[in-house]
Amino acid sequence: MTTVTPLSELTGDYSLDATGTTLGFVARHTMASRVPGHFDEFDGSAHFDGDDPAKSSVRLTIKAASIHTGNQKRDEHLRTAFLDAEGHPVITFVSTAVRQLGGTGFEVVGDLSIRGVTKPVRVAVELVDARPGPDGFRAGFTGGVSLNRHDWGVNENFATRLMVSSKVTLQLTVGASRQGTRPMR
């Protein structure tokens, strides 16, 4: 972390800052070593308890149709055949537990829902920045998790199973802000 702000001073309710957040992913493909992408539309909130991180919580909603890989044809294919964005317009994550791993490291456990299927996941998160800003307090986190997309039914057909790896790595850079400069209790 680039600041010495005590965790107790971070206690409060935060909103996701879309301009400081990237919800990215990487999948392997047989024809290209890695295909990166991200989601453009999302919303989220968190409560952080610096005195007792186990009392913290996170909620995230992603618009499935906002997937972006830099290739319009591939993006449309992902929206329809893989994510079924019309039938399942949102991807959600709701935390069920937060555990401090030491220092500024945390494990956020929660329910990830994709295509109407909900499965538990464990996301490793690191607090990388925390500081007062002109209109409140800002915190920055990085994190990630590897998923098997088949667990959520994210698959098109047998040929696709062979061409696109089942493993997808989610890479998160999250900026969040809290109104006011004093901790909310």
pLDDT in tens, 18-48: 999 999 999 876 655 788 999 999 999 999 9
Torsion of CA 80, 20, 125, 36, to 10 degrees: 40
List per-residue pLDDT tens for the chain, 185 residues long.
444 578 888 999 999 999 999 999 998 766 557 889 999 999 999 999 999 999 999 999 999 999 999 999 989 988 998 899 999 999 999 999 999 998 899 999 999 999 999 999 999 999 999 988 777 889 999 999 999 988 888 776 544 444 567 889 999 999 999 975 444 33
pTM above 0.95, yes or no: no
DSSP secondary structure string for all residues of 166-183: EEEEEEEEEEEEEESSSP
Question: How much is the pLDDT for 175?
Answer: 95
CB burial of residue 126 (10 Å; 0-12, 13-18, 19+): middle
pLDDT at position 152 is 86
What is residue 153's predicted lDDT score, i.e. its pLDDT?
81
CATH homologous superfamily for the domain 7-176: Lipid/polyisoprenoid-binding, YceI-like (2.40.128.110)
Read off the pLDDT of residues 64-76 as tens digits, 9 standing for 90 and up.
999 999 999 989 9
Place of tokens 């956020």: 108
Q: How far apart are CA 22 and CA 40, in angstroms?
A: 8
pLDDT above 70 covers what percent of the chain? 88
Q: Can you give the residue ranges of every domain in the chain? A: 7-176
Calculated CA dihedral for residues 108, 114, 117, 118, nearest 10 degrees: 10
Question: Quick one: residue 120, left, alpha or beta (phi over 0 = left, psi -120 to 50 = alpha)?
Answer: beta
CA distance 16 to 177: 7
18 burial level (CB within 10 Å; 0-12, 13-18, 19+): middle
Give the number of C-alpha atoms closer than 13 A to the C-alpha of residue 167, restricted to the C-beta side: 8
